[in-house]
Amino acid sequence: MTVAVAVEHPSARGVADLVREGDAHGLSLYPAESYYALDLASLADPEVRLFVARREGVAVGIAALVLAAPGGETPEAELKRMFVAPAARGAGVATALLTTLERTAVDLGVSRLVLETGPRQPEAIALYEKHGYVRIPNFGPYINDPLSLCFAKDLSDRRSRQPSTR
């Protein structure tokens, strides 16, 4: 079954349900103080791009790209809120979300993607490592959290391969 991924508004059909389902899943694995997901309102912020994966029009996965403040020599963005409905797992939805999000990040001038996940999510860790993410020291709000694992992926070589617009 084909998966279509597009940037959508958090009010789009099915998104709130996935956010609630993702929250329930995350909070079943981690205590509230170690759960860092963006809430539904934050997904509408101007620096956030919400990607929604749909199969036959049904929302089956989400991921958010949070753009860093402009001005850095190596612009970074953070991948947040990656969640695929259990019934859609193993069908390439997470890969489709990740690939589309990375391509968009490159188009927006992002040189490095960072993310946080946790040790109780071995499938997520395996996905990120399979796609070239490497462990980095915990950053930002995750620094002192033993239930946080941070990863990064350098996109700068992908940026240099983008076609020239001149």
First to last CA, the chain: 39
pLDDT, tens digit, for every residue of 20-69? 999 999 999 999 999 999 999 999 999 999 999 999 999 999 999 999 75
Q: What is the mean pLDDT of residues 100-106?
A: 97
Tell me the domains of the chain and their CATH numbers. Answer: 4-160 (3.40.630.30)
pLDDT at 162 over 80: no
The confidence score (pLDDT) of residue 72 equals 53
Q: What is the mean pLDDT of residues 81-86?
A: 97
Whole-model pTM: value is 0.91
pLDDT, tens digit, for every residue of 112-161? 999 999 999 999 999 999 999 999 999 999 999 999 999 999 998 865 55
